[in-house]
């Protein structure tokens, strides 16, 4: 990414995407769903397919995970994050097609293959069992999702306001998937932040909890296949 200063828009960011798919997803998100967030997200200024890149307004501040805050300020930040995600999820009408539970089951098979020797037979069977249980919950409505909803993409400004960035993974999906990484990597150690987030996002239904639990195993699988640090889904037992 390149940051520059302009006379018309102040500081801007030029972001070049790794693929056309990611490029088109982020452009679509900025044009259709991100405006619902108002000044709590960057604005799309320009786009080009060759190279696949966008120009957006710069957001002042630092990622929430890099900011040292007292507990009260952190709780306020997570209340804001809950409201941001609630607004994003409401930025488009629910969709029942395609069946995202079936798609996730297919993707799980792909990631089990990608993990190769990194996943045991027992772990693969466990993931498949969770994907079957997820499919039994269908039909489930899909909503506009961020799909990389982590503190690194929540920018905390000097004004104490949280703004959301990085929409290149955004698409219609099961909304509970946006909560998986918080539920497995952040909330187990900070139940106060869990409560603060849900105060504005809203309490989860029994179905939401089930989707979250099943999708935690999918997230763990993809992290394992990519050899990135993650936390076993069992920590969900302490966050729900």
CATH of the domain at 155: 3.90.1200.10
234: confidence class by pLDDT, cuts 50, 70, 90: low
Is residue 25 one of the residues assigned to a domain?
no
Whether residue 111 has pLDDT greater than 70: yes
Number of domains present in the structure of the chain: 1
Mean pLDDT of 112-141: 94
Is residue 147 one of the residues assigned to a domain?
yes
232: confidence class by pLDDT, cuts 50, 70, 90: low
Give the global pTM. 0.92
Residue 235: the pLDDT is: 46
Give me the domain span that covers residue 71.
62-238
Is residue 3 one of the residues assigned to a domain?
no
State pLDDT tens for residues 204-228. Answer: 999 999 999 999 999 999 988 887 4
Is residue 8 one of the residues assigned to a domain?
no
Cβ atoms within 10 A of the Cβ of 138, count? 11
Is residue 184 one of the residues assigned to a domain?
yes
Mean pLDDT of 43-64: 97
Residue 226: the pLDDT is: 80
User: Which backbone phi and psi does 173 adopt, to 5 degrees?
Assistant: -165, 180
State pLDDT tens for residues 68-90. Answer: 999 999 999 999 999 999 999 99
Separation in Å, CA 83 to CA 69, 142, 170: 19, 18, 17
Is residue 93 one of the residues assigned to a domain?
yes
The helix, strand and coil proportions of the chain, stated in percent and rounded to the nearest 5, come to 55, 15, 30
| H or E segment and range at residue 3 | strand 2-6
Mean pLDDT of 105-132: 93
33: nearest Cα among 177, 185, 175: 175
Is residue 42 one of the residues assigned to a domain?
no
148: confidence class by pLDDT, cuts 50, 70, 90: very high
Length of the chain measured in residues: 240
Residue 146: the pLDDT is: 98
What is the Rg, in whole angstroms, of the alpha carbon atoms belonging to the chain?
18
Q: Which of 85-89, 120-124, 191-195, 207-211 has the lowest mean pLDDT?
A: 120-124
Question: How high is the mean pLDDT of the chain?
Answer: 93
Is residue 6 one of the residues assigned to a domain?
no
């Amino acid at each position: 990414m390149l940051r520059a200063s302009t006379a018309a828009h102040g500081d801007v960011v030029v972001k070049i995407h790794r693929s056309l798919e990611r490029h088109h997803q982020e452009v679509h998100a900025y044009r259709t769903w991100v405006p619902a967030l108002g000044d709590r997200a960057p604005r799309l200024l320009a786009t080009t397919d060759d190279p696949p890149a966008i120009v957006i307004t710069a957001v002042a501040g630092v990622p929430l995970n890099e900011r040292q805050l007292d507990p009260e300020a952190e709780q306020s930040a997570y209340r804001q994050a809950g409201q941001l995600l609630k607004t994003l999820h409401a930025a488009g009408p629910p969709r029942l097609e395609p069946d995202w539970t079936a798609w996730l089951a297919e993707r799980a098979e792909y990631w089990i293959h990608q993990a190769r020797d990194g996943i045991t037979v027992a772990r693969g069977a466990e993931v498949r069992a969770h994907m079957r249980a997820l499919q039994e919950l269908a039909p489930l409505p899909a909503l506009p999702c961020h799909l990389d909803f982590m503190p690194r993409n929540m920018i905390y400004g000097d004004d104490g306001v949280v703004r959301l960035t990085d929409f290149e993974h955004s698409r219609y999906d099961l909304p509970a998937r946006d909560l998986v990484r918080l539920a497995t990597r952040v909330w187990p150690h900070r139940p106060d932040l869990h409560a603060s987030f849900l105060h504005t996002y809203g309490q989860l239904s029994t179905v939401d909890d089930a989707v979250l639990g099943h999708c935690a195993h999918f997230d763990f699988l993809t992290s394992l296949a990519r050899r990135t640090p993650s936390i076993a889904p069992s920590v969900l037992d302490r966050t729900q």
